[in-house]
């Protein structure tokens, strides 16, 4: 379904689709050795060019998004810490007014000459409660005061040599800093970093498709596909859908757990699938059921993989409504975009069995159709590929300021849903 001209005009008139006035923040997961999220890296974009590293970009964007407010901050990070790149000029008293010190790790890089004033500024931020991560420590000699201040040391696994990393570990032996490997995008890089002694990993390596040897689809896979197909009926057929869900005990358990979570604040406990459908209505039930199915698809994969899939689903659903697209189709598109990583199969292997419209199926396979416009923008936004996003926004008539807001709201929605069922 193509977006209506009226819907596109509405988005265009709410702000320019390009760079002007855009303030955005993207979060990037940092996982520990047990594949649990330790923190998030926050990447800011403001009106200045991203590669200029203007200190105002971070400070102004954080202020505009009101991240000094713990409620707003936790919408992006849950209850976890955030790593934030902090150019030296930004080390001022203003930091504590724009970011919560107790939940913020300031990333600083060595400079050729470190003045006493700069060291004093770091010490003041430390006293206020900020933690520090020393980044890019191979480009310049690191002054001893920085080693003393650092809580974390970040190393780009792809831009450093094994010899450099080995020497660094030897130098820091016995010191309390946590070693964090960044830009870890493949399973191979993760295993290498883990073997070397890193304990935190920043990147999307867990979203990579790793083929599972001798794997067979779960016995109830076909049943879940039938449920996905039934969820697309308008209106839902209560009796048929209830019977299908009841045949899948793990799915039924997940669904009832979700509907009785604080996310839906039911006055009385819902004890049946029929009761769940009647209590929340067709649209909410579709989201609940697909969320439950996604949890089962995810299996023993990192929970953050499911979190990203749910965030994409919510983003595509809400933004799709503003563009006049089929909202449930967009929800499924976002949700299933990471199914290959969950199942250990390529998208070409996964898609043929899914009961989807031809347009959504093609979008999942990477065809640049109208249905894929929002997901494509989001995938590049997640990787802070600003140039690609700018070009896509101009080509498709998308307002990036509005999309950035939908992204933040989708994260908050996902955080609430995930925490409600932990």
> Residue 247 is part of a domain; what is its CATH number?
1.10.3210.10
Whole-model pTM? 0.87
What is the tens place of the pLDDT at every residue in 238-263?
A: 889 889 988 888 888 888 888 888 77
Q: How far apart are CA 347 and CA 85, in angstroms?
A: 35
Within this chain, do residues 309 and 161 fall inside the same structural domain, yes or no? Answer: no
Within this chain, do residues 243 and 203 fall inside the same structural domain, yes or no? Answer: no
111 or 337, which is more confident: 337
Q: Does 14 score more than 80 pLDDT?
A: no
Are 398 and 17 in contact, with CB atoms under 8 Å apart?
yes
Within this chain, do residues 188 and 273 fall inside the same structural domain, yes or no? Answer: no
Q: Can you list the alpha helix ranges (DSSP code H) found in 299-399?
A: 303-322, 327-336, 339-343, 347-350, 358-364, 373-382, 386-396
Q: Tell me which of 207, 238, 271 is where a domain ends.
A: 207
Three-point CA angle 52, 54, 59, nearest 5°: 145
Within this chain, do residues 187 and 242 fall inside the same structural domain, yes or no? Answer: no
Cβ-Cβ contacts under 8 Å for 232 (sequence gap 6 or more): 328, 355
- Is 212 contained in some domain? no
Q: Does 20 score more than 50 pLDDT?
A: no
Are 1 and 326 in contact, with CB atoms under 8 Å apart?
yes
pLDDT at residue 227 in the model: 87
421 or 330, which is more confident: 330
- Is 244 contained in some domain? yes
Within this chain, do residues 199 and 263 fall inside the same structural domain, yes or no? Answer: no
- Is 214 contained in some domain? no
What is the tens place of the pLDDT at every residue in 35-85?
A: 999 999 999 987 554 444 566 788 888 999 999 999 999 999 988 999 999
- Is 88 contained in some domain? yes
Q: Give the chain's end-to-end CA distance (angstroms, integer).
A: 37
- Is 213 contained in some domain? no
Within this chain, do residues 53 and 110 fall inside the same structural domain, yes or no? Answer: yes
Q: Tell me which of 174, 207, 240 is where a domain ends.
A: 207
What is the tens place of the pLDDT at every residue in 378-421?
A: 999 999 899 999 999 999 889 999 999 999 999 998 988 777 55
Q: How far apart are CA 373 and CA 313, in angstroms?
A: 14
Name the residue range of residue 363's domain. Answer: 221-420
Q: Can you list the alpha helix ranges (DSSP code H) found in 212-338?
A: 221-230, 238-246, 249-259, 273-280, 282-298, 303-322, 327-336
Q: How far apart are CA 164 and CA 245, in angstroms?
A: 55
Within this chain, do residues 277 and 150 fall inside the same structural domain, yes or no? Answer: no
CA distances from 300 to 36, 254, 414 (A): 12, 15, 19
Within this chain, do residues 254 and 156 fall inside the same structural domain, yes or no? Answer: no
pLDDT at residue 57 in the model: 81
CA distances from 201 to 183, 184, 251 (A): 8, 6, 31
Within this chain, do residues 39 and 96 fall inside the same structural domain, yes or no? Answer: yes
pLDDT at residue 212 in the model: 67
What is the tens place of the pLDDT at every residue in 264-312?
A: 777 888 888 888 888 888 888 888 888 888 888 888 899 999 999 999 9
Average pLDDT of span 154-158: 94
Within this chain, do residues 57 and 200 fall inside the same structural domain, yes or no? Answer: yes
Cβ-Cβ contacts under 8 Å for 183 (sequence gap 6 or more): 156, 157, 158, 159, 202, 203
* Average pLDDT in the chain: 86
Are 23 and 409 in contact, with CB atoms under 8 Å apart?
no
pLDDT at residue 55 in the model: 67
As for how many domains the chain has, the answer is 2
Q: Tell me which of 173, 207, 241 is where a domain ends.
A: 207
Q: Which two tokens stand for residue 254?
A: 């997940």
pLDDT at residue 114 in the model: 83
- Is 139 contained in some domain? yes
pLDDT at residue 219 in the model: 58
DSSP class per residue in 74-100: HHHHTTSEEEEE--GGG-STTHHHHS-
What is the tens place of the pLDDT at every residue in 133-150?
A: 999 888 778 888 889 999
pLDDT at residue 111 in the model: 84
Cβ-Cβ contacts under 8 Å for 323 (sequence gap 6 or more): 3, 7, 8, 11, 373, 374
> Which residue in this structure is represented by tokens 């994260």?
411
Are 180 and 160 in contact, with CB atoms under 8 Å apart?
no
What percent of the chain shows pLDDT beyond 90?
52
What percent of the chain shows pLDDT beyond 70?
90
- Residue 91 binned pLDDT confidence (cut-offs 50, 70, 90): confident
Are 107 and 154 in contact, with CB atoms under 8 Å apart?
yes
- Residue 113 binned pLDDT confidence (cut-offs 50, 70, 90): confident
Are 399 and 17 in contact, with CB atoms under 8 Å apart?
yes
Within this chain, do residues 143 and 56 fall inside the same structural domain, yes or no? Answer: yes
What is the tens place of the pLDDT at every residue in 170-195?
A: 999 989 999 999 999 999 999 999 99
- Is 123 contained in some domain? yes
Within this chain, do residues 26 and 72 fall inside the same structural domain, yes or no? Answer: yes
> Residue 177 is part of a domain; what is its CATH number?
3.20.20.450
Q: How far apart are CA 137 and CA 155, in angstroms?
A: 8
């Amino acid at each position: 379904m193509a977006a209506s001209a009226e819907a596109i005009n509405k988005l265009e008139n709410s702000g320019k689709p390009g760079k002007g006035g855009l303030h955005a923040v993207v979060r990037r997961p940092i996982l520990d050795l047990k594949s649990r999220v330790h923190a998030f890296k926050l990447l800011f974009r403001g009106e200045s060019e991203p590669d200029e590293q203007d200190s105002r970009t971070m400070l102004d964007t954080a202020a505009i998004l009101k991240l000094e407010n713990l409620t707003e901050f936790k919408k992006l990070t849950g209850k976890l810490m955030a790593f934030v790149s902090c150019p030296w000029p930004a080390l001022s008293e203003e930091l504590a007014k724009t970011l919560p010190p107790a939940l913020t790790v300031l990333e600083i890089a060595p400079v050729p000459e470190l003045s006493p004033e700069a060291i004093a500024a770091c010490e003041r931020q430390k006293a206020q409660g900020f933690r520090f991560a020393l980044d890019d420590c191979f480009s310049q000699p690191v002054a001893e005061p920085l080693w003393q201040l650092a809580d974390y040391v970040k190393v780009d696994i792809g831009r450093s040599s094994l010899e450099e990393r080995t020497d660094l570990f030897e130098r820091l032996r016995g010191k309390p800093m946590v070693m964090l490997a960044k830009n870890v995008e493949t399973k191979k890089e993760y295993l290498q970093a883990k073997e070397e002694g890193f304990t935190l990993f920043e990147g999307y390596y867990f979203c990579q498709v790793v083929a599972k040897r001798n794997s067979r689809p779960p016995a109830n896979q076909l049943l879940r596909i039938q449920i996905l197909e039934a969820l697309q009926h308008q209106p839902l057929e209560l009796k048929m859908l209830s019977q299908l869900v009841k045949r899948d005990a793990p799915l039924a358990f997940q669904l009832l757990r979700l509907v009785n979570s604080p996310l839906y604040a039911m006055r009385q406990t819902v004890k049946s699938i029929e009761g769940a459908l009647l209590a929340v209505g067709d649209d909410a039930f579709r989201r609940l059921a697909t969320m439950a199915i996604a949890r089962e698809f995810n299996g023993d994969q990192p929970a953050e993989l499911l979190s990203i899939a749910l965030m994409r689903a919510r983003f595509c659903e809400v933004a799709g409504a503003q563009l006049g697209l089929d909202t449930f189709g967009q929800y499924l598109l976002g949700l299933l975009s990471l199914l290959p990583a969950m199942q250990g199969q390529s998208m070409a292997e996964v898609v043929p069995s899914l009961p989807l419209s031809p347009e959504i199926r093609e979008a999942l396979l990477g065809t640049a159709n109208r249905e894929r416009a929002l997901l494509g923008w989001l995938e590049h936004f997640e990787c802070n590929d600003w140039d690609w996003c700018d070009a896509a926004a101009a080509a498709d008539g998308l307002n990036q300021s509005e999309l950035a807001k939908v992204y933040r709201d989708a994260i908050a929605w996902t955080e609430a849903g995930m925490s409600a069922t932990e």
